[in-house]
Protein backbone atom coordinates (compact mmCIF):
# COMPACT_ATOMS: atom_id res chain seq x y z
CA UNK A 1 0.00 0.00 0.00
CA UNK A 2 1.12 3.52 -0.76
CA UNK A 3 1.04 5.56 2.43
CA UNK A 4 2.85 8.76 1.52
CA UNK A 5 0.81 10.70 -0.94
CA UNK A 6 0.41 14.17 -2.39
CA UNK A 7 -2.95 15.41 -3.67
CA UNK A 8 -3.09 18.04 -6.39
CA UNK A 9 -6.18 19.50 -8.00
CA UNK A 10 -7.84 22.84 -8.61
CA UNK A 11 -10.03 24.42 -5.93
CA UNK A 12 -13.30 22.49 -5.98
CA UNK A 13 -11.81 19.34 -7.55
CA UNK A 14 -12.67 17.38 -4.40
CA UNK A 15 -9.13 16.87 -3.17
CA UNK A 16 -10.03 17.89 0.40
CA UNK A 17 -12.94 15.45 0.64
CA UNK A 18 -11.18 12.60 -1.14
CA UNK A 19 -7.90 12.94 0.69
CA UNK A 20 -9.71 12.93 4.03
CA UNK A 21 -11.63 9.75 3.12
CA UNK A 22 -8.49 8.03 1.82
CA UNK A 23 -6.43 9.04 4.87
CA UNK A 24 -9.13 7.46 7.08
CA UNK A 25 -9.11 4.30 4.96
CA UNK A 26 -5.31 4.02 5.09
CA UNK A 27 -5.19 5.15 8.74
CA UNK A 28 -2.66 7.83 7.98
CA UNK A 29 -2.37 11.55 8.74
CA UNK A 30 -4.36 14.02 6.62
CA UNK A 31 -2.38 17.26 6.36
CA UNK A 32 -4.32 20.13 4.77
CA UNK A 33 -2.48 23.45 4.67
CA UNK A 34 -5.76 25.25 3.83
CA UNK A 35 -7.40 23.79 6.94
CA UNK A 36 -4.43 24.65 9.14
CA UNK A 37 -4.54 28.23 7.84
CA UNK A 38 -8.31 28.58 8.31
CA UNK A 39 -7.98 27.35 11.91
CA UNK A 40 -5.09 29.75 12.56
CA UNK A 41 -7.18 32.61 11.15
CA UNK A 42 -10.20 31.69 13.29
CA UNK A 43 -7.99 31.51 16.39
CA UNK A 44 -6.23 34.77 15.45
CA UNK A 45 -2.78 33.28 15.98
CA UNK A 46 0.30 35.07 14.62
CA UNK A 47 0.26 32.77 11.57
CA UNK A 48 -3.46 33.44 11.11
CA UNK A 49 -3.02 37.20 11.23
CA UNK A 50 -0.21 37.07 8.68
CA UNK A 51 -2.13 34.71 6.37
CA UNK A 52 -5.62 36.19 6.48
CA UNK A 53 -5.49 38.81 3.71
CA UNK A 54 -3.90 36.32 1.26
CA UNK A 55 -6.48 33.61 1.95
CA UNK A 56 -9.37 36.11 1.76
CA UNK A 57 -8.16 37.34 -1.64
CA UNK A 58 -7.45 33.89 -3.06
CA UNK A 59 -3.70 34.49 -3.26
CA UNK A 60 -1.08 32.02 -2.10
CA UNK A 61 0.27 32.70 1.36
CA UNK A 62 4.05 33.49 1.17
CA UNK A 63 6.17 30.32 1.10
CA UNK A 64 8.03 31.17 4.32
CA UNK A 65 4.78 30.93 6.30
CA UNK A 66 4.04 27.46 4.92
CA UNK A 67 7.42 25.73 4.82
CA UNK A 68 8.08 25.63 8.58
CA UNK A 69 4.56 24.43 9.10
CA UNK A 70 5.05 21.47 6.76
CA UNK A 71 8.38 20.57 8.36
CA UNK A 72 6.65 20.54 11.76
CA UNK A 73 3.74 18.39 10.48
CA UNK A 74 6.00 15.78 8.88
CA UNK A 75 8.18 15.54 11.98
CA UNK A 76 5.25 14.75 14.29
CA UNK A 77 5.15 11.13 15.52
CA UNK A 78 1.54 10.92 14.24
CA UNK A 79 2.86 11.37 10.68
CA UNK A 80 5.40 8.57 10.86
CA UNK A 81 2.95 5.90 9.69
CA UNK A 82 2.14 7.85 6.55
CA UNK A 83 0.45 11.02 5.32
CA UNK A 84 -1.50 12.71 2.61
CA UNK A 85 -0.50 16.26 1.79
CA UNK A 86 -3.61 18.15 0.68
CA UNK A 87 -2.96 21.61 -0.75
CA UNK A 88 0.82 21.44 -0.57
CA UNK A 89 2.95 21.92 -2.65
CA UNK A 90 1.18 24.78 -4.44
CA UNK A 91 4.09 26.00 -6.58
CA UNK A 92 7.35 24.59 -7.93
CA UNK A 93 9.44 26.24 -5.18
CA UNK A 94 7.36 24.44 -2.54
CA UNK A 95 7.70 21.16 -4.47
CA UNK A 96 11.47 21.40 -4.55
CA UNK A 97 11.56 22.37 -0.84
CA UNK A 98 9.48 19.27 -0.13
CA UNK A 99 11.90 17.04 -2.06
CA UNK A 100 14.77 18.38 0.07
CA UNK A 101 12.84 18.02 3.30
CA UNK A 102 11.84 14.43 2.52
CA UNK A 103 15.43 13.52 1.67
CA UNK A 104 16.48 15.05 4.99
CA UNK A 105 13.99 12.94 6.96
CA UNK A 106 14.69 9.87 4.78
CA UNK A 107 11.17 9.64 3.40
CA UNK A 108 9.77 9.76 -0.09
CA UNK A 109 6.40 10.61 -1.65
CA UNK A 110 5.14 7.32 -3.12
CA UNK A 111 2.44 8.75 -5.32
CA UNK A 112 1.04 12.06 -6.51
CA UNK A 113 -2.63 12.29 -7.39
CA UNK A 114 -4.06 14.92 -9.68
CA UNK A 115 -7.85 15.09 -9.54
CA UNK A 116 -9.15 16.55 -12.77
CA UNK A 117 -12.46 18.39 -13.11
CA UNK A 118 -13.56 20.78 -15.91
CA UNK A 119 -13.44 24.49 -15.00
CA UNK A 120 -17.19 25.14 -15.35
CA UNK A 121 -17.90 22.33 -12.87
CA UNK A 122 -15.31 23.72 -10.44
CA UNK A 123 -16.99 27.12 -10.38
CA UNK A 124 -20.44 25.57 -9.89
CA UNK A 125 -19.18 23.41 -7.01
CA UNK A 126 -17.33 26.24 -5.27
CA UNK A 127 -20.31 28.60 -5.46
CA UNK A 128 -22.48 25.88 -3.93
CA UNK A 129 -19.99 25.27 -1.09
CA UNK A 130 -20.20 28.78 0.37
CA UNK A 131 -16.93 29.02 2.30
CA UNK A 132 -15.81 32.60 3.05
CA UNK A 133 -13.36 32.53 0.13
CA UNK A 134 -15.94 30.97 -2.19
CA UNK A 135 -17.37 34.15 -3.77
CA UNK A 136 -17.09 34.59 -7.54
CA UNK A 137 -14.29 37.16 -7.39
CA UNK A 138 -12.06 35.08 -5.09
CA UNK A 139 -12.89 31.85 -6.95
CA UNK A 140 -11.79 33.43 -10.25
CA UNK A 141 -8.56 34.58 -8.61
CA UNK A 142 -7.90 31.14 -7.07
CA UNK A 143 -8.41 29.39 -10.40
CA UNK A 144 -5.99 31.84 -12.06
CA UNK A 145 -3.41 31.31 -9.29
CA UNK A 146 -3.91 27.56 -9.71
CA UNK A 147 -3.30 27.67 -13.46
CA UNK A 148 -0.27 29.94 -13.20
CA UNK A 149 1.47 28.61 -10.10
CA UNK A 150 0.12 25.18 -9.18
CA UNK A 151 -0.41 23.54 -12.58
CA UNK A 152 3.40 23.48 -13.24
CA UNK A 153 3.69 21.23 -10.16
CA UNK A 154 1.76 18.56 -12.13
CA UNK A 155 4.54 18.46 -14.74
CA UNK A 156 7.17 18.48 -12.02
CA UNK A 157 5.80 15.18 -10.66
CA UNK A 158 4.99 13.79 -14.10
CA UNK A 159 8.69 14.10 -14.89
CA UNK A 160 9.47 12.19 -11.69
CA UNK A 161 7.14 9.41 -12.90
CA UNK A 162 4.94 9.73 -9.81
CA UNK A 163 1.79 11.24 -11.26
CA UNK A 164 -1.62 9.50 -11.22
CA UNK A 165 -4.43 11.29 -13.04
CA UNK A 166 -7.88 10.69 -11.60
CA UNK A 167 -11.12 11.83 -13.25
CA UNK A 168 -12.86 13.85 -10.53
CA UNK A 169 -16.01 14.60 -12.54
CA UNK A 170 -17.81 11.51 -11.25
CA UNK A 171 -19.85 10.58 -8.17
CA UNK A 172 -17.82 10.85 -4.97
CA UNK A 173 -17.82 7.08 -4.30
CA UNK A 174 -16.49 6.26 -7.76
CA UNK A 175 -13.59 8.65 -7.34
CA UNK A 176 -12.85 7.12 -3.92
CA UNK A 177 -12.84 3.62 -5.47
CA UNK A 178 -10.34 4.70 -8.13
CA UNK A 179 -8.11 6.11 -5.40
CA UNK A 180 -8.30 2.92 -3.33
CA UNK A 181 -7.31 0.99 -6.43
CA UNK A 182 -4.43 3.37 -7.10
CA UNK A 183 -2.85 2.99 -3.63
CA UNK A 184 -3.03 -0.83 -3.70
CA UNK A 185 0.45 -1.49 -4.98
P1 LIG B 1 -7.37 25.21 0.18
O2 LIG B 1 -8.20 24.85 1.36
O3 LIG B 1 -6.30 24.20 -0.12
O4 LIG B 1 -8.20 25.57 -1.03
O5 LIG B 1 -6.57 26.56 0.58
C6 LIG B 1 -7.26 27.76 0.89
C7 LIG B 1 -6.30 28.93 0.81
O8 LIG B 1 -5.20 28.75 1.73
C9 LIG B 1 -5.62 29.13 -0.54
O10 LIG B 1 -6.43 29.87 -1.43
C11 LIG B 1 -4.34 29.89 -0.13
O12 LIG B 1 -4.63 31.23 0.16
C13 LIG B 1 -3.97 29.23 1.19
N14 LIG B 1 -3.05 28.07 1.02
C15 LIG B 1 -3.33 26.75 1.26
N16 LIG B 1 -2.27 25.98 1.02
C17 LIG B 1 -1.27 26.81 0.62
C18 LIG B 1 0.09 26.61 0.22
N19 LIG B 1 0.64 25.39 0.17
N20 LIG B 1 0.81 27.71 -0.14
C21 LIG B 1 0.28 28.94 -0.08
N22 LIG B 1 -1.00 29.20 0.27
C23 LIG B 1 -1.77 28.15 0.63
Give the model confidence (pLDDT) of 47-60 as tens digits.
999 999 999 999 99
pLDDT confidence of residue 27: 97
Candidates 131, 144, 147, 158; catalytic one: 131
Distance 21 CA to ligand 1 centre (A): 20
How confident is the model over 158-175, as a mean pLDDT?
Answer: 97
pLDDT tier for residue 151 given thresholds of 50, 70 and 90: very high
In the predicted structure, residue 63 carries a pLDDT above the cut 90 = yes
In the predicted structure, residue 185 carries a pLDDT above the cut 80 = no
pLDDT tier for residue 173 given thresholds of 50, 70 and 90: very high
Residue pLDDT, tens place only, 4-52: 999 999 999 999 999 999 999 999 999 999 999 999 999 999 999 999 9
**For this structure, is 129 an active site residue?**
yes
Distance 24 CA to ligand 1 centre (A): 22
Residue nearest to atom 1 of ligand 1 (CA): 34
Candidates 39, 129, 132, 158; catalytic one: 129
The set of residues, in sequence order, having a beta carbon less than 8 Å from that of 101 and lying 6+ positions away, is: 70, 71, 74
pTM to 2 decimals? 0.95
CA separation for the pair 122, 126 (Å, rounded): 6
pLDDT confidence of residue 50: 98
Residue pLDDT, tens place only, 75-130: 999 999 999 999 999 999 999 999 999 999 999 999 999 999 999 999 999 999 98
In the predicted structure, residue 164 carries a pLDDT above the cut 90 = yes
Residue nearest to atom 14 of ligand 1 (CA): 34
Amino acid sequence: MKKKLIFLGAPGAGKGTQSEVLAGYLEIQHISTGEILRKAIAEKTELGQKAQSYVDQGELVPDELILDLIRECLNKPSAHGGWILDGFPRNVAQASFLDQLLTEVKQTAEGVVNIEVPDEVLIERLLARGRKDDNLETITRRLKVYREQTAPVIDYYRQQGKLHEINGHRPLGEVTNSLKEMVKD
